[in-house]
Amino acid sequence: MYLLIFASLVLILNTQNSIVFNNFFNVVPHYTNYETEEKILEPKVVRPSIIHDSDGDKIADTLSNLIERESFTSTSKALRDNGKKVEVTICVNKKPDNALIERFRNLGADIITVHDKLIYAITAVIPVEKVSVFANNPFVTLIEKQAYSTTHLDTSTVNMGVRGSSYVWDASPVIKGNPYYSIAILDTGVDSSHSDMSNFLYFQDFSTHGYPSGSTGVDYGHHGSHCASIAAGTGVADLDPNTVKQTISYYYHSVEHNYWTIHWFEVKDNPSTPNTLITLTWDNSGGGETYFGLRDSGGSWIGDLNLYSSTPVTRNYGNLAAGWYQVVVAPYVVATCNKDYTITIEHEYKYMLSSESVSSPVFTGVAPESKIVSLKVLDDSGSGTGTWFQNALSWISTNGKNPAYNITTVSMSLGFDGVYSTIDTAINNLVDEGFICVASAGNEGTNYGSNAVDSPGTAQKCITVGAVNDAFEIVYYSSNGDVIYNKPDVVAPGGTMAFSGSSSLHNLILAADSNYGEDDNSMSDVIANDYRGMQGTSMSCPHVAGLAFLYTHLQSLLTLNYHLQCQM
């Protein structure tokens, strides 16, 4: 059952001196097929489960299925050498030592990473024909294939019950986050050059890109910056609270005169009546001409659908009435087909609350006074591996409580290609160390058939987040899970581009767009410090991560108040 985590939850947290976050979790029964073996109490040992290993042979079902189905092909990322080898994580029942590592090497393992901080395991490439040999080793508890991951504001902070709330942002003292503590964003990176990321603290790359660690954050994937902006963006890039600069990047349709139907933006009326300016920049190499026009939500044209050959071109649509509008761009000739374009929209966007000053930024994240630590576990295309992810979790375990970082909350807007005991065990152990872990539920909801929630969202002690729209309806893409894991735990704003079947059709989550090029094409960045709209449980996750961070801030204030009263 879902729990709406809006103002009512903040009120509950504000009236209790202590809440164990495990109350959010529904316990998943853990069964073992190895009753004859000695019970292992060490939490870093990954225990086999019938959920992951149905026949009890210590070879995870995902690996068994891969070997049986594809061992003679190379279609899976985990397979190597034309299907003769496979990248796996070998879980063991003790801390891996040199003798055990050497034993595995003698069996043909090419060692990649040794894990001993949150789990006891070794990631390696091994011969497919020897998987059973490794599984029969008395120190081995489970072998899983390498895991692979992918990526999964204005009104949303109001709907979360923080903006305009006398219990949170408008409380006395104000609860907007503690600048001495951090939220860790595990994603494609975070662009520290975006002015909304002025509270950025640290960046480290765990992918193979090799970007340098330090105070400068990188994000060519754009996804991480958007999520960080939702969790903790300062909103200062929105210099004029009456307007917003929004960017939409994509590529032309493959057929002349055809266009995509996804380029929507919203005008929110205000007394200053600024005009809406739309600029189209496109790749017109080869003489590519383009149609460019604007329609309202009913399909009526605002002005004409004009033809242009020189880039860029700006159209002034004057003072538009409040509502949703669609930018239409279509290739006129074959030379324009499949070419890149970027639409920049400067439009009216007044959304102030009665308690706010006129200059208050609109696109502020949930915990804007926190610090941001960016751990890059996804490459620039939005894909990652279990090894990168595990290494980042280990880094948090080692460094997270260092006063230089002071991480309290971990936000993970990503999902793996299945349920992995290694991933879930590491997350559970990180929570046991005192970190709040929040993950997106996934975008395989009712309209997509599977409804699956995968790791890390299946970790028992992780707060897993589904998505709702502005009308508080569960959106069509949000993964609803199953009875095995009882996930997700909560829901939060995720935006939607639904064209029907919803009471809130086009409310994308508008947040920071990275300055590292454009997101959905290969163009250079057209405008700096802009915003873009996105939808997904990836957007829901940082809303809850930011709220969880505010809870830690609240707890610190309550603790301080208690000690002050004791001294009186």
Q: Which of 547, 532, 436 is nearest to 491 (CA)?
A: 547
- Please indicate, yes or no, if residue 38 is contained in any of the structural domains: no
Domain that holds residue 475: 3-24+153-238+361-561
Domain shared by 251 and 343, yes or no: yes
Give the CATH number, domain containing residue 418.
Answer: 3.40.50.200
Kind and range of the H or E run holding 185: strand 182-187
- Judging by beta carbons within 10 Å of its beta carbon (0-12, 13-18, 19+), is residue 503 exposed, middle or buried? exposed
d(CA 443, CA 476) in angstroms, rounded, equals 9
CATH code for the domain of 101: 3.30.70
Task: Report if residue 328 sits inside a domain.
Answer: yes
What count of Cα atoms within 13 Å lies in the side-chain half-sphere of residue 22?
10
Same domain flag for 386 and 313: no
Give the pLDDT score at 13: 35
Q: Which residues of the chain have pLDDT under 50?
A: 1-40, 71-72, 153-154, 562-563
Q: ω before 96 within 30° of 0 (cis)?
A: no
Buried-state track 400-411, b at ≥16 Cβ within 10 A, e below 16: beeeebbbbbbb
522-562 tens-digit pLDDT: 888 888 999 888 889 999 999 999 999 998 877 766 655 54
Give the global pTM.
0.86
Q: Are residues 132 and 265 part of one domain?
A: no
Both 219 and 297 in a single domain?
no
Give dist(CA 25, CA 125) in Å, integer: 35
Cβ atoms < 10 Å from Cβ of 387: 20
Look up the CATH number of the domain holding residue 301: 2.60.120.380
Collapsing DSSP to helix, strand or coil, 525 comes out as coil
Residue 568 makes CB contacts below 8 A (sequence gap 6+) with: none
Residue 190 shares a structural domain with residue 253: no
Give the pLDDT confidence score for residue 121 in this predicted structure.
97
Domain boundary among 320, 348, 376: 348
In a domain, 492, yes or no: yes
Residue 277 lies inside a defined structural domain of this protein: yes
Check whether residue 325 and residue 421 sit in a common domain: no
Structure tokens at 431: 């929570």
Cα separation, 93 vs 89, in Å, equals 13
Query: By the 8 A CB rule, do 259 and 253 touch?
Result: yes
Q: Is residue 291 part of a domain?
A: yes
pLDDT of residue 4: 40
Q: 6 in helix, strand or coil?
A: coil
At 72, list the tokens.
């003679």
What pLDDT is attached to residue 380?
94
Q: How many angstroms separate the CA atoms of 331 and 337, rounded?
A: 6
Residues 299 and 407 in one domain: no
Residues 543, 4: Cα–Cα separation, whole Å = 12
Query: Are the beta carbons of 52 and 144 closer than 8 angstroms?
Result: yes
Tokens of 2: 């879902």
* Same domain assignment for residues 142 and 176: no
Where do we find the tokens 């061992």? 71
The answer to whether residue 353 is domain-embedded is no
Q: How many residues does the chain have?
A: 568
What does the longest C-alpha to C-alpha distance in the chain come to? 79
Is 479 within the bounds of a domain?
A: yes
452 and 555 share a domain? yes
Let me know if residue 267 belongs to a domain.
yes
Number of domains the chain contains: 3
Element (H, E) at 133: helix 131-135
For the chain, what percent of residues have pLDDT higher than 70?
Answer: 79
What pLDDT score was predicted for residue 271? 56
Q: Is 465 in contact with 566 (CB distance < 8 Å)?
A: no
Residue after which a domain boundary falls, among 348, 382, 398: 348
CB atoms within 10 A of CB 268: 17
Q: Are residue 407 and residue 525 in the same domain, yes or no?
A: yes
E strand or H helix that includes residue 89: strand 85-92
Q: Find the distance separating the first CA and the last CA of the chain, reported in whole Å.
A: 45
Q: How far apart are the C-alpha atoms of 279 and 302, rounded to whole Å?
A: 15
pLDDT at 170: 57
Are β-strands 371-376 and 182-187 bridged in parallel, bridged antiparallel, or unpaired? parallel
pLDDT digits (tens, 9 = 90+) for 393-450: 999 999 999 999 999 999 999 999 999 999 999 999 999 999 999 999 998 886 565 6
Q: Which of 323, 348, 373 is the last residue of a domain?
A: 348
Q: What is the pLDDT of residue 20?
A: 31
Whether residues 391 and 496 share a domain: the answer is yes
Residues 301 and 224 in one domain: no
